[in-house]
Amino acid sequence: MRGIMALLVGALLAGAVACGNGTFIISVNSGVIIADPRCAGSGGDFQLRQQGGLVVLVVITSTTRIFVSSGGPGRCTDLFANTAIEVSGHQSGDRIIAGTITVE
């Protein structure tokens, strides 16, 4: 039991240190892709116009999960301009690091 508690505390501390101040916020944003994404290797990025009109940069990483409208898995090259999507991820400065992108 003591070993398990030590592992849990260690994992929490490591997460807090990795995130800077111990705060890690997951946000969900929906909107429309402005222009075709720039895809490179296992990642890429695109600009998203949110429902309120704000434009943000969405970054796709090698761990981002993309789901196309059929519900199946997708890739950066499956995303296109004027496509409605939902993005969940964390904010890093003025960009969103996508964890999941779902085509609506």
Q: Assess if residue 17 is contained within a domain.
A: no
pTM above 0.95, yes or no: no
Structural domain tally of the chain? 1
In a domain, 16, yes or no: no
Task: End-to-end CA distance of the chain: give it in Å, rounded.
Answer: 45
Write out pLDDT tens, residues 28-78.
Answer: 889 999 999 999 988 999 999 998 899 999 999 999 999 998 889 999 999
Mean pLDDT of the chain: 83
Residue 52 covered by a domain: yes
**Domain contains 12:** no
Q: What is the CATH number of the domain that holds 47?
A: 2.40.50.140
Tell me how far apart the alpha carbons of residues 57 and 37 are, in angstroms, rounded to a whole number: 10
On whether the CB atoms of residues 30 and 85 are closer than 8 A, the answer is yes
Q: Does residue 48 fall inside a structural domain?
A: yes
Q: Compute the distance between CA of residue 78 and CA of residue 73 in angstroms, rounded to an integer.
A: 10
Residue 51 lies in a domain: yes
**Structural domain boundaries, residue 70:** 25-103
- In-domain check, residue 9: no
DSSP 42: T
Interatomic CA distance for residues 94 and 99, integer angstroms:
16
